[in-house]
Amino acid sequence: MVKICCIGAGYVGGPTMAVIALKCPSVVVAVVDISVARIAAWNSDQLPIYEPGLDEVVKRCRGRNLFFSTDVEKHVAEADIVFVSVNTPTKTRGLGAGKAADLTYWESAARMIADVSKSNKIVVEKSTVPVKTAEAIEKILSHNSKGINFQILSNPEFLAEGTAIEDLFNPDRVLIGGRETPEGQKAIQALKDVYAQWVPEDRILTTNLWSAELSKLAANAFLAQRISSVNAMSALCEATGANVSQVSHAIGKDTRIGPKFLNASVGFGGSCFQKDILNLVYICECNGLTEVANYWKQVIKVNDYQKNRFVNRVVSSMFNTVSDKKIAILGFAFKKDTGDTRETPAIDVCKGLLGDKAKLSIYDPQVTEEQIQKDLTMNKFDWDHPIHLQPMSPATVKQVSVVWDAYQASKDAHGICILTEWDEFKKLDFQKIYDNMQKPAFVFDGRNVVDVEKLRKIGFIVYSIGKPLDPWLKDMPAMV
Ligand code: NAI
């Protein structure tokens, strides 16, 4: 019986291991973490992350062949295959600060594996890591191995939050990179045998280690680049009277471009895109590839520009000041169907509005007040360090209130900003909302979810990203 242990019970470790346990009943899977609270939540009815379909998968396997534990060393020692899915945040200080990946957690996990192992192991990089990390890990393991053989594989995860379970059940591809030696190939085959229990053989790709590591960074860079490209177009659409949805539809019909990931928005977020591009940029710079580094840097610059542009639109439309005005923020998570707020554009938009002294009333169906307050007070990049290393009791931002309903958030507000595309926002009774707001009443739709014409008929002044401008906004041009 194969024993798997996964270090890191987060957004990746939890769902991926639960699906392996479900699909491979003969494999025993232990997911371990240093965070006692996180493991307790995985063992309770209130899982630590919200992901459609996850509850059911966990309930079916937990206690059967899926276990969550804080006894990291015991489960690592017993495992044949050890996945490492710990955080790989952006470095906050020292060499490469603000760009390079901080491999502190990875390195300490590798040293611990070397310390406690008494049998040969396959160590799998599940976290997103810089190219050539496997080489460093190999060195740590082999210098401390006591004669034990470790094979390192790179098996980056491509799931998207919000559709993680669906993505894991039916992945576009599973990528496994390993050494081109007989031992390396044997290790690749062992991991392939696990995935082959539910993933068609032709979707399991095998490469060398460096290609697998780089493919993950490249995939995220390409995805983020697509969002920045359509967002750059949205600015031009607003300037020219074109409609970004029509442009996206027209270009998406080209089979070389394809229709997915072409929605203009207030900007991309999530724990990975920015972090992984910064990391890619740093690797390019270290290799003397300045032009390549600058090319990818621009993807992040356009994303920052898009968030600033949105804030400027809000402020300039409302007579160039939002001081003491109540603004409702609908949606705080970085996208719908997740409670994850890491790098959500809502943080920058809210901070921008607070900088102009607005009063914010925030509603998100999956994000708690504690999380929102924490996000609005935390320093850049601190969010991606393990919870026990984050500031203990964040200060609260007094101009922010968090409520549990969109109607309450918008009551007496001057404006509404829609920052997450939750389905429920499409079904709101906007007449009721309008009746309870200050006039003129504004809607700034950062996700293009509302029916602009319908809202204008009710009386709202509506800004929708990349759509022909409301006459009001034409008269109040933003500094963009
Ligand atoms: P996360 O922050 O949700 O989970 C990481 C967990 O590792 C935390 O619970 C932390 O307590 C634990 N940890 C850290 N050091 C540890 C140690 N030495 N021993 C035991 N546990 C330890 O992070 P998430 O989102 O799961 O990401 C993990 C990795 O996967 C990152 O490299 C990320 O870039 C990558 N990734 C994330 C995706 C996502 O959608 N969130 C998608 C694909 C890859």
> Could you tell me if residue 340 is left (phi over 0), alpha (psi between -120 and 50 degrees) or otherwise beta?
beta
Closest atom of ligand 1 to CA, residue 388: 11
Cross-strand pairs, 28: 3
Please pick, among 6, 24, 272, 417, the residue that the annotation labels catalytic: 272
CA of 180 to the centre of ligand 1 (A): 28
CA of 88 to the centre of ligand 1 (A): 7
CA of 379 to the centre of ligand 1 (A): 19
Cα 97 from Cα 235, distance rounded (Å): 31
Which CA distances in Å does 284 have to 363, 386, 426? 40, 28, 42
Question: Which pLDDT belongs to residue 193?
Answer: 97
Task: Write the pLDDT tens digit of every residue in 169-227.
Answer: 999 999 999 999 999 999 999 999 999 999 999 999 999 999 999 999 999 999 999 99
Full-prediction pTM beyond 0.85? yes
CA of 95 to the centre of ligand 1 (A): 22
CA of 469 to the centre of ligand 1 (A): 42
Question: Which pLDDT belongs to residue 389?
Answer: 62
- To test the pocket of ligand 1, the residue of 87, 161, 167 to mutate (highest count of ligand atoms within 8 Å of its CB) is 87
Q: Which residues line ligand 1 (CB under 6 A)?
A: 7-13, 33-35, 38, 72, 85-88, 105, 108-109, 127-128, 157, 159, 161, 271-272, 386
Which residues does the annotation place in the binding site for NAD(+)? Answer: 8-13, 33, 38, 86-90, 127-128, 161, 272-275, 342
**272 in catalytic set:** yes
Question: Whose CA is closest to atom 4 on ligand 1?
Answer: 10
- To test the pocket of ligand 1, the residue of 7, 33, 116 to mutate (highest count of ligand atoms within 8 Å of its CB) is 33
- To test the pocket of ligand 1, the residue of 50, 85, 133, 215 to mutate (highest count of ligand atoms within 8 Å of its CB) is 85
Cα 441 from Cα 413, distance rounded (Å): 8
Question: Whose CA is closest to atom 34 on ligand 1?
Answer: 128
pLDDT in tens, the chain (480 residues): 899 999 999 999 999 999 999 999 999 999 999 999 999 999 999 999 999 999 999 999 999 999 999 999 999 999 999 999 998 888 888 888 888 888 899 999 999 999 999 999 999 999 998 888 888 899 999 888 788 999 999 999 999 999 999 999 999 999 999 999 999 999 999 999 999 999 999 999 999 999 999 999 999 999 999 999 999 999 999 999 999 999 999 999 999 999 999 999 999 999 999 999 999 999 999 999 999 999 999 999 999 999 999 999 999 999 999 999 999 999 999 999 999 999 999 999 999 999 999 999 999 999 999 999 999 998 776 766 766 566 555 567 889 999 999 999 999 999 999 999 999 999 999 999 999 999 999 999 999 999 999 999 999 999 999 999 998 888 776 766
Question: Which pLDDT belongs to residue 472?
Answer: 86
